[in-house]
Chains A and B, each alone.
Chain A
Amino acid sequence: LRDGALEGELAPALTIKDSVPFALQVFSHVISQLFSSILAGKSQSRGLVVVSFSRSPSFYLDLLKKGTDVASIQILDCYSDPLGWKDQLREVKHMDKLYNSIIELGKGLVGGGKIRFSIAIDSADEMLRHAPVSSVARLLSNLRSHDQISSIFWLLHSDLHEARVTAVLEYLSSIVASLEPENFSLIKHNSKKGKFHVRFKKRNGRVRVMSEEVHIEQSGINFINQGLVPKVQFSLQLSEKERIDKANVVLPFEHQGNGKPIQIYDGRRSLVDGSGEIIYYRDSDDEMPDSDEDPDDDLDI
């Protein structure tokens, strides 16, 4: 999410999907992290628009207030009066109007031109209550295509909707993060631990899945990294000593002499020294073997 969108491509989108009560804390965590990156200048996006349906704007202001630069954030208040019961002018049922308001707010933040901003939608559930799936999908799709949007993410409670509705939103996202409680026991609401599964759809078409444990504490939320390693019977990871030993191994084509001319034995004894040479350039010193980066990535066919 931090890296944002490439020119001419759809912005990355994240669905945080859950059926447990602590999803809001995860959402708050993501939003604080993203906002910190924005403030620190580490992300492509220069501003954040929060569309808040289920929490009051002041909740987000308090959450993100630690950065003194509140000029980088704008909150679209869809919480206080979404249906115009208090004040006839406001109404968020129309997705097109919502789209315009979001874009307007964003442009107000970062100006026009090439500068991008990010969007956080407090609850896709509320949007789906007020408008049909097709309109919501259209809104999200349009937002992703807008060339000033860096990234966008939303929260969805999967137990409130039919499976197909959840599926629609998942198709629209490049990243889907789902939360599961630790055990579907009687006291569901007491769950303080859970599993956090993330599925990334990368640009080159590959899918990466990762999983972490989540612990909710009074102080905040903790992700315990279990890495990508599947649970099998043999050890797939390297210990520290193994890592050092491995770094010490000199690969066959890599000794550039040691004083002696390089002799490559190719089965024929009549080799005259000096007439052959193998030049081997390592791609990258810190490239882990079996990394999921496709070596054919840079092919331009």
Chain B
Amino acid sequence: MNQRSSNLLDEALGLDQVIEPWPLRGRVVAIEDQVETSGSFVLHHLLKRSLSPNSSNVTIFIAFSQPFSHYDRILRKLGCNLVSQRDNSRFFFFDMLKLQCPDGDEGITPEGGLIALYGKIHKTISALPEISWKNVSIIIDDLSLMEVAANGSSDYVLDFLHYCRTLTSEFDCSLITLNHEDIYSSEDRPTFFIQMEYLADILIKAEPLATGLATDVHGQLTVSNKGRNKVSNFHFKVKENVVECFYPGRS
């Protein structure tokens, strides 16, 4: 596995040095992508980093987008075995694909579904030994589908995200989310999207190049770290087993 080239991303996030205790603890990381440049590779990369053998990190993965087998396959190519991590209680997978949020006939409202989810996350973290709390990462893939599951109510999703943020204050854990920018670009006031930007401590944007499509470069990543007041920008190329990140001009 090519450690070197992922380092630009790790560097921007503070993951290039010691990862225990987890450098992203207490932080909210928001990944934004577009159709042309999918940001899920960032999610996979962060997942791989957090489940690294050098750390005792625990990850709670809330999946609205793909089933377990999908992530298992991808992470295996990156050199990480999700099944064994799950068995070792380092990886908790909440499959939300079947979450129906009906309009209340069965007594489960969209809000109720999210409240229950929050409760489940809270319980899972509390059950861990206190010392591991700050090494917990909550990953959500992805927010737009969560909105769909909540019957389009962005208010409930925002409430849920607020509560997840209180988790970061309470347990000092980290929250990583993925959202699609172009879904909201047609609205005159993409409130939900902007709210997410305000909420995030670290914003990672995956965008196409200003010059258009290219074979050597898939897109550009901009990492804005509010805490460190730093912005990094570089190009990336997604390969089979690894993602290469490099500054413009050096391939």
Contact = CB atoms under 8 A, between A and B. Distances in A.
Interface string A43-82: 0000000000000101000000000000000000001111
A80 B191 contact: no
Given A56-B166, A83-B159, A160 B226 contact: no
A129 B198 contact: no
Contact of A82 (B162, B169, B197, B231): B162
A216 interface: yes
Contacts of A159: 189, 194
Interface in B199-242: 203, 222, 224, 226, 229, 231, 233
A157 B162 contact: no
A280 interface: no
Interface string A79-93: 111110110000000
A190 to B, nearest CB: 4
Nearest to A84: B115
Interface size class of A (residues with CB under 8 A): 20 to 34
B163 interface: yes
A21 B191 contact: no
A129 B229 CA distance: 29
A249 interface: no
Contact of B231 (A56, A83, A189): A189
B195 interface: yes
A192 interface: yes
A79 B169 CA distance: 10
Interface string A174-204: 0000000000000101101000000000000
B92 interface: no
B8 to A, nearest CB: 17
B189 A162 contact: yes
Contact of B155 (A86, A129, A190): A129
Contacts of A218: 229
B109 to A, nearest CB: 13
Chain A's interface: helix, strand, loop or mixed, by majority?
Answer: loop
Given A190-B224, A190-B231, A157 B198 contact: yes
Contacts of B118: 85
Contacts of A58: 169
A295 to B, nearest CB: 46
B108 to A, nearest CB: 15
A160 B194 contact: yes
30 contacts: A21-B197, A21-B198, A21-B226, A56-B166, A56-B169, A58-B169, A79-B166, A79-B169, A80-B166, A80-B169, A81-B166, A82-B159, A85-B118, A85-B119, A85-B163, A86-B122, A129-B155, A129-B158, A160-B191, A160-B194, A162-B189, A187-B222, A187-B224, A187-B231, A187-B233, A189-B224, A189-B226, A189-B231, A192-B229, A218-B229
Interface of B: 115, 118-119, 122, 155, 158-159, 162-163, 166, 169-170, 189, 191, 194-195, 197-198, 203, 222, 224, 226, 229, 231, 233
